[in-house]
Structure 1
Amino acid sequence: MESIEHLYEAYAQTVYKYLFSITQNAELSEELTQETFYQAMRTIRHFRGECKISVWLCQIAKRAWYKEMSKNKKLQTRSTEQPGFPLYARENIENDVLQNEEKLAMFRLLHSLDEKTKEVMYLRLSGELSFSEIGEIVGQSETWARVTFYRGKQKMIKERDRNGK
């Protein structure tokens, strides 16, 4: 079995990207990445090799995220005031309000999707992961990830059109 230092060097960026795609919070993603590798270090002897190590680490990361959410129900997953989120030039307040409404509408549509589709959409849109990486993380094929993303996008468009927005 590889040393935990080697695992960290090889997979920390992947775990961080995965966590950032679901939390949209750089600081929290970093904390959860550290927690993921701590948990991996504690349980590595139980790793049976039935999946890639990156998949196993992302599963640990997902559980760490769920645990964090349950500890703090009011956790904000995105703050535009945070470093890493550029503040765009603001033309006027009306434009900002319209953009926020559009973002809210998109996240409402995303939230209405089933869990697997929602996860694929977040990983692709927020984490900017490839379909191959997404498939690996969720334990499916690249084709499955592509089809799931496409179908999710179509559902969102259909729902948006139905709501007249």
Structure 2
Amino acid sequence: MAEHPDLQEEKRMIAQILAGQTQLFHGLIRPYERSVYVMALSFVHNEADAEDVAQEAFLKAFRNLSAFRGEAKFGTWLISITLNEARSRLRRNKAAPTESLDTPADEDGHVSPALLRDWREIPSEELERGELKLVLQNAIAALPAAYREVLLLREVEELNTGEVAELLKISVSLAKVRLHRARMMMQKMLAPQLKQMNPKRRWFQWS
């Protein structure tokens, strides 16, 4: 994966693009191409549609670059555009309704600490196995959209909870609840399959 340029370099590139050096735009978005595509694919579940969503997101980012104020990271702003495009595509495709997402995780509102043993820690040689990669992709795809958004932004894009909440225009506490629920859903879906793949490995932990 390409390294993300530092913020000052991004600001310099954006200023040059707005000044007319539009050929620099591809260099600006290159580090984010995979993230944008993966985010799109996780929602539309179709490679052709994901490519369309990604291309439309890049096009809108280019057209609206002058509206980017640098209050957030460029990559975060780009992911926000991608999310909106993916949601629009889902609405056009008559996406299935999702359950209510705004109630606390437990009756007393406490978010319990049961966590998936972070799939980012899965050894690369195991992750490269097509079977495991497919299991993970299917589990993420099976999450309701709002949970999937939070999970991908927090665990894949590695935004902090505050950034996730701001991007999705929800409270930090609600972002935490949705992340907790997403992790628990992932745990429930993945545990039997991962255990079958490698019975000796501890895939989950409680803290």
> TM-score, normalization: structure 2?
0.45
Alignment partner, residue 4 of structure 2: none
Code of the residue aligned with 1:150 in structure 2: it is H
Residue 35 of structure 1 pairs with residue 56 of structure 2: yes
Pair 1:120 & 2:147 matched = no
Distance 2:186 2:33 in 1: 32
Q: CA deviation at 1:148?
A: 4.6
Q: Secondary structure at the match of 2:27?
A: helix
Instruction: Structure 2 unaligned segments of length 5 or more: list them.
Output: 1-10, 14-23, 97-129, 132-137, 168-172, 189-207
* Aligned residues between the structures: 122
* Structure 1 vs Structure 2 CA RMSD: 4.0
Q: Give CA-to-partner distance per residue, 1:18-53, whole Å, 9 cap, x none.
A: 112222222211111111110011000010011011
Alignment of 1:62 onto 2:89: no
Aligned structure 1 segments of 4 or more residues deviating by more than 4 angstroms: 133-140, 144-148, 155-158
More helix per residue: 1
Kindly report which structure 2 residues correspond to 1:1-165, keeping only aligned pairs within 5 A, or say none: 1=11, 2=13, 3-73=24-94, 107=142, 110-111=143-144, 116-121=146-151, 123=152, 129=156, 132-133=158-159, 139=166, 148-154=178-184
Q: Distance in 2 between matches of 1:134 and 1:24?
A: 26
Q: 1:45 and 1:37 mapped to 2: Cα distance?
A: 14
Change in CA separation of 1:34 and 1:156 when aligned onto 2, cut-off 3 Å: closer
The 1:25/1:5 distance shift into structure 2, 3 A limit, reads same
Q: Which has the larger radius of gyration?
A: 2
Report the Cα distance in structure 2 between the residues aligned to 1:37 and 1:49, rounded to whole angstroms.
17
Structure 1: state its 5+ residue gaps: 76-85, 88-102, 159-165
In the TM superposition, residue 70 of structure 1 has moved relative to its aligned partner by 2.8
Change in CA separation of 1:35 and 1:137 when aligned onto 2, cut-off 3 Å: farther
TM-score after normalising by structure 1: 0.54
Residues 137 and 18 (structure 1), Cα distance of their counterparts in 2 relative to 1, 3 Å cut = farther
In the alignment, the residues of structure 1 paired with residue 92 and residue 43 of structure 2 have an alpha-carbon distance, to the nearest angstrom, of 17
